[in-house]
Amino acid sequence: MYDFDGTHLTPDAAGTGSPILMLPTGQALVETFSVEVYNPKGKYQAAWAPTVTKYPHSVNRGTTYKISGKQFNGLSQAAAFGDEFETATNYPLVRITNTASGHVFYAKTHDHSTMGVATGNTIVSTNFDVPADMDTGASTLEVVANGIPSKKVSLTVN
């Protein structure tokens, strides 16, 4: 295993393994002799994070909304190893956290304007479905790509 800081690959004492899936927490599931959670050392660069530029400030449960911004598809497709480990994560995840309860909800995303990676300053968009059973009230929303979150924006869930 190696950690990449944007310039250097640094060997990690975690050993070897095949990446299975990048998680929205920035961790990765890795297959060694079993499936383990890999916690990378270091932190991503702020420039790698998605940026939310346009979003609804109030949403209703069970309804679809459009969100726009930059880098929603990350900088790469993430893990690929031969032909047996194709686990692309170049799609935006929308994570909504209720401020009062701390409960985290993931909204289904669909109809992305692009699946291209490293889109730079190009404005991209996706639609997201607010879960019908999520907590109502003050919340934060962030877009996650390749395990890297955008800055949180505030919204109200009705």
- For the chain, what are the domain ranges? 45-157
Instruction: Using the predicted structure, report yes or no on whether residue 139 has a pLDDT greater than 70.
Output: yes
pLDDT of residue 84: 63
Mean pLDDT for 117-137 is 95
- The better pLDDT of the pair 126, 48 is held by 126
- The better pLDDT of the pair 7, 141 is held by 141
CB atoms near residue 116 (< 10 Å): 12
Q: What contacts 147, CB < 8 A, 6 or more positions away?
A: 22, 23, 24, 25, 26, 27, 28, 44, 78, 89
Instruction: Using the predicted structure, report yes or no on whether residue 36 has a pLDDT greater than 60.
Output: yes
pLDDT of residue 58: 98
Can you identify the CATH homologous superfamily of domain 45-157? Answer: Immunoglobulins (2.60.40.10)
pLDDT of residue 94: 97
